[in-house]
Amino acid sequence: MTARKDFKRLVRERMARTGESYMIAARHVRADAGDAPGDDPGADPGVDEAGDPEADAGDDPAREPAVPVLEMIDLAEVAEPLGFRCRVVIQPSLAERVDAATALARLRDVLLATTMDRAFEMMRSVVLRGLRPRIRLVAENFEDVGRFVVRAAHGIAGVSEAGHMLALTIDGKRGPAHVLFALQLTPDFVQTDREPCLILTDPGSHTVDALRGLVHSVTENLTPR
């Protein structure tokens, strides 16, 4: 029990310094200690990706987190020559179906062609100008995400109300492909300023299905603005 408390304390201290989620911070703490995840006496496999350090892990060490954890592919070598000013990653399964450079070039063209449209300003300011806006976690934002993801999963292109998600149809390796471009921004309550990340994912993937469930559960616990 003492080892578990010490582990959580170290994780929380790292979260406060870096702004990382609980799960990501826990990985770094384990790595710094030289322990494998399964060997760490303080390991907390039930903690979800949203970063709830008080989540009930239960007694089953094989229990999976509420949100799947995927190792994304970094696209820095492709994004930087195209003028992208933030970190860019792509979901592995999507990378098999679309050419990353084609997808990013399509996004850039859309953002440059809509400079008079304020709906695209959030995405444009982060992706092409390198700004670091904060996002406020309120019920309306999560409800917006939920509605937008459903539309994107059915092939409806467009931009989310908050402007941090954009769905486009591009020429894929085996025909038209739907791509969801989503900005990962620092919540307004996090002290550390983290670099924004643009995530390219498949709107019909299991990851997005999990996101819908997370949106529903979080919305239940947030108050309107």
Average pLDDT of the residues of the chain: 76
pTM of the model: 0.64
Per-residue pLDDT reduced to its tens digit, 161-185: 889 999 999 999 999 999 999 998 8
Of 160, 154, 169, the closest CA to residue 123 belongs to 160
DSSP 190: -
Helix (H) or strand (E) holding 94: helix 92-95
Least confident range from 22-31, 91-100, 133-142, 197-206: namely 133-142
List the Cα angle 38/40/45 in 5-degree steps.
Answer: 60
Helix (H) or strand (E) holding 170: strand 165-172
The letter for the amino acid at 197 is C
Q: What is the rounded CA–CA span in Å between residue 8 and residue 191?
A: 19
- Tokens representing 220? 């239940």
Domain spans, the chain: 1-66, 73-219
| Strand ordering across the sheet containing 165-172 | 73-74, 87-90, 197-201, 175-184, 165-172, 158-159
Helix (H) or strand (E) holding 9: helix 2-18
